[in-house]
Amino acid sequence: MIRSLLVAWPILLLAQGEEYATDCSFPIFSTDLKCGDKLGDRRTFYEDYIEGCRQYHGPQKAKRCDATEADRIDMNNRQPQSMVNYTSTGFMKIRAPKEVMALLTRHWETNKVNMKEEQWPVGSIYVNYWESKTYMVSVEDTKLRGAGATLKEKIWDAAKSTIEQWTGMELKPTSMYGIRMYTDGAVLSPHADRLPLVSSCIINVDQDVDEPWPLEVYDRQGNAVNVTMEPGDMVLYESGSLIHGRPFPLKGRFFANIFIHFEPTGRPLYATGDEYLDELDDFLPPYLVPGSPETAHWTAQNPHGWKKSGPAAPVKQINAPKGHFAAAVGDVDRIIELSEKDPLSLHRKDANGWAPIHEAVRSGFTEIVGLLIEHGSPKDTRTGHANEGASPLNLALMYHGEDHPVVEYLRSIGALDIGEGEF
């Protein structure tokens, strides 16, 4: 594996007007764009972009746009340089495995007539939904034909081996919510994905465009690389460390793709024994460089540490409180059983100040979160024994990003986004 040792990403000069680097097409590490008019008037484009968010949400909520934008830039500066890099390039375009594409195409063609408009959180600036709506064909919504846990598992299983072979690491699924359809004029702000979205892929399922809509990624030297995609193309990318986005507006009717995310377990793919366990940090996840800028932020959000419920320590997970364990692994039957025989176990906090609902949110189990709330878990209960930590919605945003079903569900019931130490 290759550890990232950069203390800052390089800002390179344009070469012959054909190449560009960070902070040229769109702010990456700073709002101080550096390339003049080489790519057109990107300063005005960016200012109009952020102002569009402010105008859409109105004077009382406009500050959320600025706060989310500041968080995007801060994370771009902090997180990529803190990650273990498992490949030399950080990305690769291939054709999707046939079995993956068959599953996705069938689901898309069967259910696209029932796609739902996505509802973005107040102040989100990752997509310009105020101008160009996005739609979702969920793989989780059991109201759609063929959707549900079985389909998710099939897609994850079909994609997993390809990404494992590329990274050389054993992986476990973390997030996949459905096929998103972008519409004419759509823009995706360049960003790194929130942890634990680490090893991922994008698959283009369908499109109707007037010209290619490039995925802009930044290589290990900080140079922009524009990757075009056609239906059936699959871009492998280290999403937690690779800055990626689509800062130039989509020209066409639609562009539909799915994001499939995994987390490294810390075990090299071809390990024959357990010696690799000795190299794992006792607290940090295996993909985070100890002492790097992200460690303080990650530790504040994960006071329990990674091994307690991470894939490298199943014995510790088995010994977790019964309500916590059932929530963490998505055991619906066990949750229902506990609600009848030991209801307090569904709300009791563990030694680290986490309740079962926090474990369910971290694992991304929307159904479990709903069951726990139905059986009395407060939707805004915070981590920490003095309730000074993060709320479920805040955790969901950190672990899964703006558009995960857990986030959508929590917002639909009026849950609050309360961060560590906020009042």
The contacts of residue 93 (CB under 8 Å, 6+ apart) are: 227, 229, 233, 234, 235, 236
- Report angle CA 182, 185, 187 to the nearest 5 degrees: 70
Say if 293 falls within a structural domain: no
Phi, psi of 253 (to 5 degrees): -85, -45
Say if 423 falls within a structural domain: no
Side-chain half-sphere exposure of 161, counting CA atoms within 13 A: 7
Residues 397 and 253 in one domain: no
Per-residue tokens: 29? 């590490």
Residue in 325, 290, 332 with CA at minimum distance from that of residue 308? 325
Residues 152 and 214 in one domain: yes
Give the integer Cα–Cα distance in Å for 287 and 171.
11
Local structure of residue 402 (DSSP, 8 states)? T
Say if 181 falls within a structural domain: yes
% of the chain residues with pLDDT over 70: 91
Residues 256 and 396 in one domain: no
Q: 29: phi > 0 → left, psi -120 to 50 → alpha, else beta; which?
A: alpha
pLDDT digits (tens, 9 = 90+) for 357-369: 999 998 889 999 9
pLDDT digits (tens, 9 = 90+) for 12-65: 333 334 589 999 999 999 999 999 999 999 999 999 999 999 999 999 889 989
% of the chain residues with pLDDT over 90: 63
pLDDT digits (tens, 9 = 90+) for 177-215: 899 999 999 999 999 998 889 999 999 999 999 999 999
Residues 130 and 262 in one domain: yes
* Residue found under tokens 């063929």: 146
Residues 95 and 207 in one domain: yes
Residues 335 and 195 in one domain: no
pLDDT digits (tens, 9 = 90+) for 224-278: 999 999 999 999 999 999 999 999 999 999 999 999 999 999 999 988 888 888 8
User: Are the beta carbons of 189 and 275 closer than 8 angstroms?
Assistant: no
Q: Pick the residue with more confidence: 320 or 283?
A: 283
Residues 61 and 100 in one domain: no
Residues 113 and 246 in one domain: yes
The sign of the CA dihedral 191, 192, 197, 200 is positive
Say if 194 falls within a structural domain: yes
Say if 259 falls within a structural domain: yes
Query: What pLDDT score was predicted for residue 4?
Result: 40
Q: Judging by DSSP bridges, how do beta strands 169-175 and 91-95 pair with one another? A: unpaired
Domain boundary among 37, 58, 82: 82
Per-residue tokens: 241? 């460390």
What average pLDDT does this structure show over 317-346?
81
Residues 121 and 255 in one domain: yes
Tally the domains of the chain.
3
Give the integer Cα–Cα distance in Å for 360 and 375.
14
Helices (H), 128-244: 149-167
Whether residue 317 is predicted with pLDDT greater than 80 in this model: the reply is no
Say if 111 falls within a structural domain: yes
Local structure of residue 111 (DSSP, 8 states)? H
Whether residue 376 is predicted with pLDDT greater than 80 in this model: the reply is yes
Residues 207 and 325 in one domain: no
Whether residue 84 is predicted with pLDDT greater than 70 in this model: the reply is yes
- Taking each helix axis from N to C terminus, what angle separates 356-363 and 366-374, rounded to the nearest 10 degrees? 160
Residue 89's SS3 state is: coil
Domain boundary among 67, 82, 97: 82
Q: 154: phi > 0 → left, psi -120 to 50 → alpha, else beta; which?
A: alpha
CATH number at residue 173: 2.60.120.620
Phi, psi of 260 (to 5 degrees): -125, 120
Query: What pLDDT score was predicted for residue 120?
Result: 84
Say if 285 falls within a structural domain: no
- Report angle CA 237, 17, 226 to the nearest 5 degrees: 20
Query: What pLDDT score was predicted for residue 295?
Result: 93
Residues 77 and 181 in one domain: no
pTM attached to this predicted model: 0.74
Domain boundary among 228, 249, 268: 268
Say if 310 falls within a structural domain: no
Residue in 125, 93, 80 with CA at minimum distance from that of residue 218? 80
CATH number at residue 333: 1.25.40.20
pLDDT digits (tens, 9 = 90+) for 152-168: 889 999 999 999 999 99
Owning domain of residue 112: 84-268
Helices (H), 58-190: 62-78, 98-111, 149-167
Residues 28 and 97 in one domain: no
The contacts of residue 353 (CB under 8 Å, 6+ apart) are: 303, 383, 384, 385, 389
